[in-house]
Amino acid sequence: MVHRRSFLKKGGLAFAGAGLMSAFPGMSWAGVPGVGDKLVCGLIGAKGMGMTDLRAFLEVPGTECAAICDVDEGVLNQRLADVEKLQGYKPKGYKDFRKLLENRDIDVIILGTPDHWHCLPFVYAAQEGKAIYCEKPLANSIEEINIMERAAARYGVTVQVGQWQRSDPHWQDAVKFVRSGALGKIRTVRTWSYQGWMSSVPVKPDGTPPPGVDYDFWLGPAPLRPFNPNRFHFSFRWFWDYAGGMMTDWGVHIIDYALYGMDVKGPRSVVSMGGKFAYPEDATETPDTQQAIYEFDGFTLLWDHGIGINGGYYGRSHGVGFVGNNGTLVVDRNGWEVIPEVLNNRPQMERVDLKPASGRGLENHLADFVACVKDKSRVPATPIAVAANTARVCHLGNIAYKTGRRLFWDNEKSLFVNDPQANALLTPTYRKPWELPTV
């Protein structure tokens, strides 16, 4: 494969001081006697969820942050100051994640970059033997997902992905009930996210990047485009170059639990439709309204999203509905309940009133990650195999949307069946000098 250090040497960016850690890819300092009794992390991408994840990480006893990297100098300086208040000393700041990865004292990487910047830092961190907490979705394309999954296996690193609902007890309890059989035959699963707080993104002219922003590095492997504030920071997720819209933003959380509850992986086929129906003239590219129907053996799975309204199913703006012959279990971030099916004025099962959420899913998720780093015999709540499968399913919905037709999927080969046009959308084209890793 193209090793990170080989790339740096070719690009004239070889770094001194790599030391023993760089000499032995796959080696980790975590748990090595005499190295230290604290689990030390470096944060790459500090603007949004990256910092939220770091706060939860630092709540776990025996942790600290040694370094933060961000291409936006203003964000970097703010986060360095924030972490200094949290732990009593300031981490080292970087604008190039490759330099951060040379730090031998770092055991763990928290990756909070935009989706298009997940694959390369992940693979490079795995080569250095560092445990990785990666924000969701795992990657911005199916081939990147495949590469990251292979890298984690090859280098034997602990990986947790930020689908934190896997660590929230009420979601776990809901799945236990679904699998109990009490709902009867489950014929369809509804997943949805209707986000009324989101609104139109007004068109803005191209301009100059803010002072202190390395915009070329922010683009990285994505196509070269003039700077536009709408394509930067939070709203990057509504542009195909960097993310997959609501389908991969909320979908990986919600669809994940549909797959988990039904104990399935890839679908047999998928069809999707939608568009920019609410805000046709605004700046975004991804659809504000979209439905995708996935075909599995014995049931269908529906994804449905809408931006700018809260009109979800069962009076909830988001959630999963497992629709059985006896009743429907509905679960969201507030809790779960069972609504009985009524036939001839007779309920087919007992109602289950709302079982409330704990509100500690993210904190539990980071604590679970730390425990898994310290004890490699433990399996993370969202290991890379789970996150990879869910992200693939979400990307399948987007590819079906782009092609405008029903697609048939071979899960074992990770390819569409007899469809070269759809298969061409599985692999991204990286902008030079960046190269898609091979593992």
Split at pLDDT 50, 70, 90, the class of 27 is very low
Instruction: State whether the Cα torsion 76-197-166-428 is positive or negative.
Output: negative
pLDDT, the chain, mean: 92
Exposure string of 354-374, with b = 16+ CB inside 10 Å and e = fewer, is: ebebeeebbbbbbbbbbebbe
Half-sphere exposure of 169 (CA within 13 A, CB side): 7
Between strands 108-111 and 63-69, the pairing is: unpaired
State the architecture of 169-358+393-423 in CATH terms: 2-Layer Sandwich (3.30)
Return the pLDDT at 358. 86
CA–CA separation, 107 vs 123, rounded Å?
15
Residue 378's identity, in one-letter code, is: R
Q: How confident is the model at residue 1 (pLDDT cuts 50, 70, 90)?
A: very low
CATH 3.40.50.720-classified regions of the chain: 4-165+366-389
Q: What is the reported pTM? A: 0.91
The answer on pLDDT for 10 being more than 60 is no
- The answer, yes or no, to whether the previous bond of 210 is cis (omega within 30 of 0) is no
CA 166, 194, 334: angle at the middle one, nearest 5? 45
pLDDT at residue 218, rounded to an integer: 98
| Each residue's pLDDT tens digit, 397-432 | 999 999 999 999 999 999 999 999 999 999 999 999
Is CATH 3.40.190.10 the classification given to domain 4-165+366-389?
no
Q: Which two tokens stand for residue 269?
A: 């086929």
Mean pLDDT calculated for residue range 260-278: 98
384-403 helix and 251-262 helix, angle to the nearest 10 degrees:
110
Q: Is residue 21's pLDDT more than 80?
A: no
Q: CATH 3.30.360.10 region(s) of the chain? A: 169-358+393-423
**Count of beta carbons in the 10 Å neighbourhood of residue 385:** 15
For the cut 80, the answer to whether the pLDDT of residue 19 exceeds it is no
- What's the pLDDT band for 36 if we cut at 50, 70, 90? low
Compute CA distances 290 → 140, 271, 321, whole Å: 18, 11, 18
Which H or E element spans position 72? none
Structure tokens at 406: 């029903």
